[in-house]
Amino acid sequence: MTNENVCILLPTLNEEATIGQVIRDFRSEGFDNILVIDGNSKDGTREIAAAEGARVVIQTGKGKGQAIKQAFDLIVEDYVVMADGDGTNLAKDVHAVLGPVLAGEADHVMGNRLVDYEKGAFTRLNLIGNKIINKMFGLAYGVWLEDILTGYRAFNRKAIRSFELKKSGFEVESEITIESVKKDLNIIEVPTTYLARHSEGATKLSPLRDGLKIGSTIYKMARLHNPMFYFGIIGGLFIICGLLVGTFVVMQWFQGVTRIPMTILTTLLIIAGFQMFVFGMLSDLVVSLHRENMRLLRKINEEKND
């Protein structure tokens, strides 16, 4: 097998400061098949990429997610490596990231940025946000990965064909990871080096806005994978509110004041909370049965294709 069967996918938006070097680095590692999916950059990104020998496609919509989805539909190669165009991923790590996919040990390899990162590569807010999101992901999906938001990944064809991506922005990394867990793909994390952004390139990520969007995507998508987590949180909130109001009612009662409407509210909140848990349990049953059926269907499909 030659590296022609590996497509290096680089999403870019105004990355003229780094894209040329990134492409040269991947080429010097032996990868010439490079696809740059560009979000209508207003600088010289596309011209530089084309001059360095990459195939350049302009995305039809907006956002990194839309770009990746469009690129996955275009790619015909058996293997894909996705990396950022801002020079924060090291091209020489490509062998570590791609290796397990080529060896058939994984369908999806994720380059963990949190083991070895340059000073300044993450702001304090980004680092805390990443850690919270990784823990939340573990709780919701039962798979404890160390860096679910990494942009450095490798996939085989089976993986990219199985993804059903709907999000258009920076939720794409979480969505790809969730899809991989849902579709029972073999996921491996490998350590990679993460560098700080080039001083002339600006980040496209807004930590608070995108962080909240990512958190909400992980939470909402958990409804169909771990409903107990989804409904449990809502139920827990109802019960906490019920207990707070209830405590107030009891305190007032000790002082000789009886608060009938608040007592009713307490009961309603607590009953509604418990009902959410019951919803969660029932949905869990439905989802588990569905998962079994999907596994069986995938197995039949794989056997048919063999």
Binding site for ligand GTP (CB under 6 A): 11-13, 15, 37-39, 59, 62-64, 67, 84-86, 88, 151, 197, 203-205
What minimum distance in Å lies between the beta carbon of 213 and ligand GTP? 12
> Nearest Cα to 206, choosing from 277, 143, 123?
123
Contact map string, positions 55 to 84, toward Mg ion, x by CB under 5 A: -----------------------------x
From 226, 224, 202, 222, select the one nearest 214 (Cα to Cα).
Answer: 222
Nearer to Mg ion, 121 or 265 (CB): 121
Closer residue to Mg ion (CB): 12 or 66? 12
Shortest Cβ distance from residue 42 to Mg ion (Å)?
18
Closest approach, Cβ 111 to Mg ion, in A, equals 12
> Encoding tokens for residue 77?
């190669």
Q: Which is nearer to Mg ion, 33 or 88 (CB)?
A: 88
Q: How far apart are CA 116 and CA 118, in angstroms?
A: 7
CB of 120 to Mg ion, least distance (A): 12
Tell me if 177 sits within 8 A of 155, measured CB to CB: no
Q: Which does residue 16 touch among ligand GTP, Mg ion, none (CB within 5 to 8 A, set by kind)?
A: none
Residue closer to Mg ion (CB basis): 10 or 136: 10
Residue at 228: amino acid letter: M
SS3 12: strand
Ramachandran assignment for 302, one of left (phi > 0), alpha (psi -120 to 50 degrees), beta (any other): alpha
CB 151 to ligand GTP: min, Å? 5
Minimum CB separation of residue 177 from ligand GTP in Å reads: 14
Nearer to ligand GTP, 53 or 61 (CB): 61
Element (H, E) at 20: helix 19-28
Contacts of 34 (CB under 8 A, 6+ apart): 7, 8, 10, 23, 26, 27, 49, 52, 53, 54, 55
Residue 65 binds which one of ligand GTP, Mg ion, none, with CB within 5 to 8 A depending on kind?
none
User: Among all residues, whose Cβ is closest to Mg ion?
Assistant: 86
Interface residue with Mg ion among 25, 86, 107, 175 (CB under 5 A) is 86
For ligand GTP, the closer of residues 55 and 62 by Cβ is 62
Return the structure tokens found at 83. Answer: 């990396």
Nearer to Mg ion, 88 or 266 (CB): 88
Distance CA 3, CA 153 (A): 16
Question: Binding partner of residue 291 among ligand GTP, Mg ion, none, CB under 5 to 8 Å per kind?
Answer: none
Q: How far apart are the C-alpha atoms of 229 and 272, rounded to whole Å?
A: 16
Q: How far is the CB of 56 from ligand GTP (least distance, A)?
A: 11
- Interaction residues for Mg ion, span 87-116 (CB under 5 A): 88
Classify 120 in phi/psi space as left (phi over 0), alpha (psi -120 to 50) or beta.
Answer: left
Count of other CB atoms within 10 angstroms of residue 53: 12
Residues that bind Mg ion (CB under 5 A): 84, 86, 88
